[in-house]
Structure 1
Amino acid sequence: MYFNAYQIRNTDGTLDGTMTGYYEPLLSGSRQYGGAYLYPVYGTPSDMLYLDARRVPGRMRGGVSAARIDGHNVIPLTDVTGSGLGGLYTLDLRDAVPDIRDKKIRLRLDGERIVPYYTRAEIERGALKAPVLAYVDDPVMLYSMQLQGSGKVRMTDGSIRRFAYAEQNGRPFLPPLARSGGAASGAHKLVVRGMEMQIDVSDE
């Protein structure tokens, strides 16, 4: 194997900077569930609702109030209490976190309550109401594709399908941690993108 060396400079000629990496994982998949193909690649869910966090008064954040639904948009109401009357619902924003980019809170309707959208654990238990675009054979690679935001799937007929980010559940990203030492050691394993890295949680 042979390599070429490159030097990367900023536009002003300086050398200090930050580099990031990105790749598109290649998975094996099928249009049909079965055999090795057990893990669904979901499309955008049909029951997701959106609330612009900028429209939520400070006193309503993190609590319970009333709202109405207009299409897929949630409209908070500041002068109404109660639920289930005249198209009004209880808006429960406890555990709700707006996305830092589009400022939207992802929600769903649960009876007469509007609540934060399903967690990853709930989705993996089958709670999600969304079209399945393909089934793949490797949950670790699927997780990697979800983190990257895009990827390719080689289908059983040999064709390649490309998938790109369309939506999220609105929950904060919490990488799985596994303790690798005694409680006093502070040593943990960070498991992300199918790889394990040792981290010291006492080191900020």
Structure 2
Amino acid sequence: MRGLARAACLSAAFLAAGPVGAASHSILEFSDLAGWAEDDHAEALAVFIETCRDLRDPDWATLCQTAEEWDDARLFFELHFRPVLIEDGTPMLFTAYYEPELRGSRYRGGQYRYPIYSTPDEALDGVWLTRAQIEDRDALAGRGLEIAYLTDPVDAYFLQVQGSGRIRLDDGTAIRVGFGGKNGHSYRSVGKELIRRGELDEHSVNIDRIRDWVRENGAEGEELLHHNPSYVFFREVSHVPANRGPLGAMNRSITAMRSIAVDPTYTRLGAPVWIETDGAQDLHRLMIAHDTGAAIKGAQRADIFFGTGRAAGRRAGTVKEGGRMIVLLPIQRAYATAEGI
């Protein structure tokens, strides 16, 4: 993941999380945010309002009650929030993710040979079989857990990495799947493994390069995917309208280029987050912390949602940038956090 399994089933725990741990908290001024005045604050406010109702703490709940009454979105943020830079000593790293759109079938046959599964009972209790063990033993076959069959094992793998996707079925219909669970093993990057082996360099590694390498290397390509022991299971979420994004960790649709995955240990889910990237993307915009990811760990670590489909995937796969992100907190919360209260 890019980003990584979106644990909607853990949303209640994440919603209660706040900044903790060995991190520094510095209050900034809005004038310190590069490009703040030029952003579309109304668009960001609309996205914020969609999940604001789920924030139950008094300082957030009171603020959310008035959010829809404001015509001047920029003024709303400036009057009710303070920017807080949270740092844990690790340099900022932005990556990006997307929602794949794949071809599949409800039935196995012909080109449709690679299943995605719903969660088995054994995986509900903690650590279960690794990816290699699940696939080598065919451990899930014939148990009625198959949701759909895809045409490509690499597509099935990256669907797990992204954690959600749309599948266009051979009968002309479509389904959407979201994160349903996992086998309890930690995510390990196959991109980093290819760099370690000297097959790719850190400047050229992206989803398309990894995909090509796996397809071109047969059994060795399959073995590379097994380097990642984490295995993700799915659930159907086809009730989510086609014109909306996939569900994030708050169990609500996320929005392209306005939703971001964060580490909820440091950043409250639902909070506005200002980002400044210093790479090719050069993004300066207000995002909302809507999601999480297994590889998104740290106060200055984030994953930007780029949207649905192959074009979004190509763009997302190139993102590996520095910069900084600043969390917007309600005023009293901001000063209490900075003082360690």
Q: Which has the higher contact order (CA 8 A, sep 6+)?
A: 2
Compute the TM-score of the two structures, normalised by the length of structure 2.
Answer: 0.31
> Which structure has greater helix proportion?
2
Bigger Rg over Cα? 1
TM-score, structure 1 normalization? 0.50
Higher strand share: 1
